[in-house]
Structure 1
């Protein structure tokens, strides 16, 4: 044992040891954590997501974000993604992947396509040649129908019957009445006429037989007229199609030539067929403008990920990882009280899809506390896909029947949290061990050395520059370094909780400005330390 001198009880950082020359960002005292992060960020294999552990203030988030910029993923710009209508099965919207920047162009092209048809198709239906041809066809079918009716009516008249329209509720129904003394008589009145002696019983039997034969013939006649009407409708539809089909095909084919993707070609073929099936919507020019939005609706492109302005791979830090924010939802609108409506244009994706091809940073504690988020996140990372669903726990009876195509994702998730959460998850959650294979530990202390002291000084100078505070003297920096050792609790260690260092510097700047000093000096740092 030896006697300690007063100066042995407190380490001092002499100003002459301060040789800070750089104000650039540098990771301080976290070599092991940085190495683990670099390994995890560069390995593109299943399960190599990263858990960043360590105390608050050690630079976990700052260092992680900085390192992400130098990775391969940060240099890759992912495809745009959009949902379009599934005309065969509207409850299963179709997902499309389009090269970056072309999603917005495709969305605009589809809007322009329908605007073009809204303008041109009604004009085609008002052309004199079409109107004349349509009138000629209608007149021909009317004559054919009238000829059949005339033959039947003549036969009815010769048999002593008449066709009378009988009101049945809100509808009128044709019925056969025998003509007696020049007037049609309902069969219900035949019995009374027999009692009055105006008819004989055998006359009733004869009329009933004629009525039965004529009724069967009337049904056959009306069946023939219905067939003529059906044929007329089909022929008129063919006329409309022959008029409009070349216009639609030419414009849709022009759009096809701009895109090479086979799914887009298939979708545009469905668009063409659906336009031809719903061509009646375009017939009345004066009403088309009024229902323009309804015409547009089935052909809208729901652009869920737009990378047209993106210059580098996505790096998203989700500060509020609710189920809706992470995985998206299917919105709905109220049609009337108690009745809701959803369609593919109401599909909204979350940050997990937005981060596809890049990185998603999450706070571990927040993820674990949010309802349903942790199981859904594990499922998405294991399957590498996201299924957008309605999530509204307070309105269980209003869920949507839509089931959009799942979205394939390739995202690296970085969880930031305390070390004890890592140990709990690693011990009790088997999936966690498979999904988060990399752990980066940020220490709260580092060894004292001349390099470490100068790194401290560089950090302080950088904070002064970024926050536009007064500059700190070498003596003030030395005093802050001494505070870092005291906070570490050991003579050969410095604290790496740089949030504490920054707070001391800010508070020292406050006292310096209050004293109207030109620089932050030791006295100001001491006041800041004493005030804590």
Structure 2
């Protein structure tokens, strides 16, 4: 029976033979760029990219290396190439509400044209206005208006002087306006000379001045009206000349954007503002430069002309189709933009030209790819992104917008038309789905990328073409058919399944690069099987330092592992140590002690808080098995302790539950276990063996220890029979099995396993509910009955 449970060498690894494929090396193969083995994920991704409804953003889940990022980008790029190029966006000054900059949209490429033309117009006006308003033509037009009103003013002044003579006064037109000057003894008296006159004369002058004011009130009023009209006419002249110039400068720009009402309205507002602020264009250059020199000693002089600058916020002039942006560092400002400030005299100043876009603006109209973990670890970025998607608009606002020293502005929000593609693992998706209600509404599409695919002819053909394409793109040596066969086998090993292949193609590509390098060292033109093997072996060697140290400690008996003895209540279990890049199997001695009592099975690791919940469950299952098997008539009177010897880390998982049960059965029966046979596999309450993970690493890890201790032909490993299809063992182990130096047993029940370990039948109850004498169960039942009697006494 035991021999029947041995797995033959032919089933320890599924070899790859590419005899059906007619090629010598990859130079004979048509390259393939498409992703392989991700039909479900690709179909979901394609649907998510196609649907144009709110909330249908995409979460691409899967393990790194499955092509989830690269293929998401390539598929998004393919869809983007078929879409229209999105609009340019500019922020401009709001002449009605300066703290709320206006967002203007333009057809792709028009934004930079608009910015440049506005800059040119303003620069030209700075030159044109001083020239026009200092020209002879302007002076002549101004003189005509002035001379027309000058005669009226002089006539009114004459009328005033006729009245003023009666009171010994005369009116004079000065730069300060119309002045009344007293006359004493036929001479005009200055203000400073009045004080030297006799008191009576001063009093008379004041009385005459008051009377004159009353008499000339209406005439002066008429004069002021004429002066006001003159001033208005001169301003109208200035505005008329300015408008003609402005119109000539802006006319072509208005015509160019006549279909864009918002842009036209902005241009009209700018024209009006220029006319209102003509003086800024007519500043005397020498005075202005002198003023700047004075103020520069403190900080910066505020630039009035900033208001006419155009902030080209998003420029798509060089883009064909929609944008596809990858945000590798989704900090708040990188993602959502910011309003920058400059320090002026201790105050933080800003304006519409300091508004900066984030990747969400750059990707507007297209696709934005973000690594989910990077995003959700920046909480404000995640909340800000969700807010944008919910409102379907992006508002540029700073986090510290309430700072007292910082000047704030509120840029007009920009409408969003964007597809977000989050890329992460399964656990991140579950975390967001379970604990973030908004996530469910915003990311309705999940594209799940698998870590494995079927090992069939179609997929093998695709892998061959993938390897050929990579050789071509990366300028690698051609790969021989034998090298590809080895890669296929390596792929199944990575998938831990004879009927599967890994879809983590980054691991395949790494081996390709390294094998090509080993071929280069040998100065050969084609990569062959031996180069793939060399690359794999060297990769293991670079990473297995910790494994070798453990093996050395076992060899020196610092870690006690027996392989050549038989012992009661002791057994070698198997665990996998995962170092990320490399994982390996490590044997652990498990011991069980049984004695009289009613405490049941004590998990020592649990008692010292070194046991995980799944391991605890596995131990508790053992009580159920023993109870059903041996306590159907009398209560189970038993105390037992189980532990992993020389284990100082937390134990998790139930893959050792069958091993722990074997140790218990050995202790209860008093029958020794062959220490040369290690075991793995979980067990249920009915004694059925269940599959586990890491079977190849566990077998190879124990084999290496047996090899160190010395192979006698009695060594081996017991595994669940379901794990046979997971076997992709090393050639060294297969060779040892073929030579009879090492055995691998595949079992379905605890009965089969304990018989292999002890060499004695397990035993089944007869019609009298008794176990056959000399069987394992007979000895166990006898021990339990003895415990029950002792407990009663």
Measure how far apart 1:122 and its partner are.
3.3
For residues 1-60 of structure 1, what are the alpha-carbon distances to aligned partners after superposition, in whole Å with 9 as ceiling and x for unaligned? Answer: 554221221121124255673312122111111111111111111100000001000000
> Is structure 2 residue 422 aligned with structure 1 residue 415?
yes
Among 237, 241, 256, the residue aligned to 2:235: 237
**Equivalences, count:** 515
Measure how far apart 1:267 and its partner are.
1.8
2:244 is matched with which residue? Answer: 246
Per the alignment, in what secondary structure is the counterpart of residue 256 of structure 2? coil
1:304 is matched with which residue? Answer: 313
Work out whether residues 47 and 435 of structure 1, in 8 Å CA contact, stay in contact via their aligned partners in 2.
yes
1:482 is matched with which residue? Answer: 489
> Is structure 2 residue 470 aligned with structure 1 residue 466?
no
Measure how far apart 1:207 and its partner are.
7.6
Among 331, 334, 339, the residue aligned to 1:322: 331
2:439 is matched with which residue? Answer: 432
Measure how far apart 1:123 and its partner are.
3.3
Task: Determine the C-alpha separation between the residues in 2 that align with 1:303 and 1:185.
Answer: 61
1:88 is matched with which residue? Answer: 96
Task: Determine the C-alpha separation between the residues in 2 that align with 1:400 and 1:258.
Answer: 35
Query: What is the 5 A alignment of 1:314-463?
Result: 314-334=323-343, 336-391=344-399, 396-463=403-470
For residues 40-95 of structure 1, what are the alpha-carbon distances to aligned partners after superposition, in whole Å with 9 as ceiling and x for unaligned? Answer: 11111110000000100000011112222443774221122112222222222221
Work out whether residues 36 and 459 of structure 2, in 8 Å CA contact, stay in contact via their aligned partners in 1.
yes
Q: More displaced, 96-105 or 501-510?
A: 96-105
For residues 395-427 of structure 1, what are the alpha-carbon distances to aligned partners after superposition, in whole Å with 9 as ceiling and x for unaligned? Answer: 934444221111001100000011111111111
For residues 293-320 of structure 1, what are the alpha-carbon distances to aligned partners after superposition, in whole Å with 9 as ceiling and x for unaligned? Answer: 9675333322212222211211111111
Work out whether residues 376 and 382 of structure 2, in 8 Å CA contact, stay in contact via their aligned partners in 1.
yes
Distance change in 2, residues 1:178/1:468 (3 Å) = same
Q: More displaced, 55-64 or 75-84?
A: 75-84
Work out whether residues 333 and 340 of structure 1, in 8 Å CA contact, stay in contact via their aligned partners in 2.
yes
Measure how far apart 1:243 and its partner are.
2.3
> Is structure 2 residue 19 aligned with structure 1 residue 16?
yes
Task: Determine the C-alpha separation between the residues in 2 that align with 1:285 and 1:212.
Answer: 42
2:728 is matched with which residue? Answer: none
Distance change in 2, residues 1:125/1:497 (3 Å) = same
Query: What is the 5 A alignment of 1:177-326?
Result: 230-259=228-257, 260-283=259-282, 297-326=306-335
Distance change in 2, residues 1:223/1:57 (3 Å) = farther
2:668 is matched with which residue? Answer: none
> Is structure 2 residue 529 aligned with structure 1 residue 522?
yes
Give the structure with the larger helix fraction: 1
1:4 is matched with which residue? Answer: 7
Task: Determine the C-alpha separation between the residues in 2 that align with 1:110 and 1:288.
Answer: 26
Task: Determine the C-alpha separation between the residues in 1 that align with 2:127 and 2:528.
Answer: 75
Measure how far apart 1:103 and its partner are.
1.8
Among 483, 487, 493, the residue aligned to 2:500: 493
Work out whether residues 161 and 184 of structure 1, in 8 Å CA contact, stay in contact via their aligned partners in 2.
no
Measure how far apart 1:289 and its partner are.
12
Work out whether residues 40 and 48 of structure 1, in 8 Å CA contact, stay in contact via their aligned partners in 2.
yes
Among 50, 58, 67, the residue aligned to 1:42: 50
Task: Determine the C-alpha separation between the residues in 2 that align with 1:493 and 1:440.
Answer: 21
Work out whether residues 66 and 505 of structure 2, in 8 Å CA contact, stay in contact via their aligned partners in 1.
yes
For residues 200-243 of structure 1, what are the alpha-carbon distances to aligned partners after superposition, in whole Å with 9 as ceiling and x for unaligned? Answer: 8xx99878766766788999999887766654432221111222
- Structure with bigger gyration radius: 2
For residues 122-143 of structure 1, what are the alpha-carbon distances to aligned partners after superposition, in whole Å with 9 as ceiling and x for unaligned? Answer: 3332332321232454566677
Task: Determine the C-alpha separation between the residues in 2 that align with 1:138 and 1:295.
Answer: 32
Task: Determine the C-alpha separation between the residues in 2 that align with 1:301 and 1:289.
Answer: 24
2:142 is matched with which residue? Answer: 134
Task: Determine the C-alpha separation between the residues in 2 that align with 1:278 and 1:125.
Answer: 14
Work out whether residues 347 and 406 of structure 2, in 8 Å CA contact, stay in contact via their aligned partners in 1.
no
Task: Determine the C-alpha separation between the residues in 2 that align with 1:325 and 1:288.
Answer: 43
Task: Determine the C-alpha separation between the residues in 2 that align with 1:422 and 1:265.
Answer: 47
Distance change in 2, residues 1:485/1:276 (3 Å) = same
Work out whether residues 332 and 381 of structure 2, in 8 Å CA contact, stay in contact via their aligned partners in 1.
yes
Query: What is the 5 A alignment of 1:151-190?
Result: none
Work out whether residues 348 and 406 of structure 2, in 8 Å CA contact, stay in contact via their aligned partners in 1.
no
Task: Determine the C-alpha separation between the residues in 2 that align with 1:218 and 1:18.
Answer: 118
Work out whether residues 129 and 242 of structure 2, in 8 Å CA contact, stay in contact via their aligned partners in 1.
yes
Work out whether residues 246 and 271 of structure 2, in 8 Å CA contact, stay in contact via their aligned partners in 1.
yes
Work out whether residues 178 and 186 of structure 1, in 8 Å CA contact, stay in contact via their aligned partners in 2.
no
| RMSD, aligned CA | 3.9
Distance change in 2, residues 1:501/1:216 (3 Å) = farther
Q: More displaced, 354-363 or 487-496?
A: 487-496
Work out whether residues 162 and 184 of structure 1, in 8 Å CA contact, stay in contact via their aligned partners in 2.
no
Task: Determine the C-alpha separation between the residues in 1 that align with 2:119 and 2:504.
Answer: 54
Work out whether residues 194 and 202 of structure 2, in 8 Å CA contact, stay in contact via their aligned partners in 1.
no
Per the alignment, in what secondary structure is the counterpart of residue 410 of structure 1? coil
Distance change in 2, residues 1:392/1:461 (3 Å) = farther
Distance change in 2, residues 1:221/1:73 (3 Å) = farther
Task: Determine the C-alpha separation between the residues in 2 that align with 1:95 and 1:501.
Answer: 49
Query: What is the 5 A alignment of 1:17-32?
Result: 17=20, 21-32=29-40
Point out where structure 2 has 5 or more consecutive residues left out of the alignment: 293-301, 540-793
Measure how far apart 1:115 and its partner are.
3.9
Q: More displaced, 210-219 or 94-103?
A: 210-219
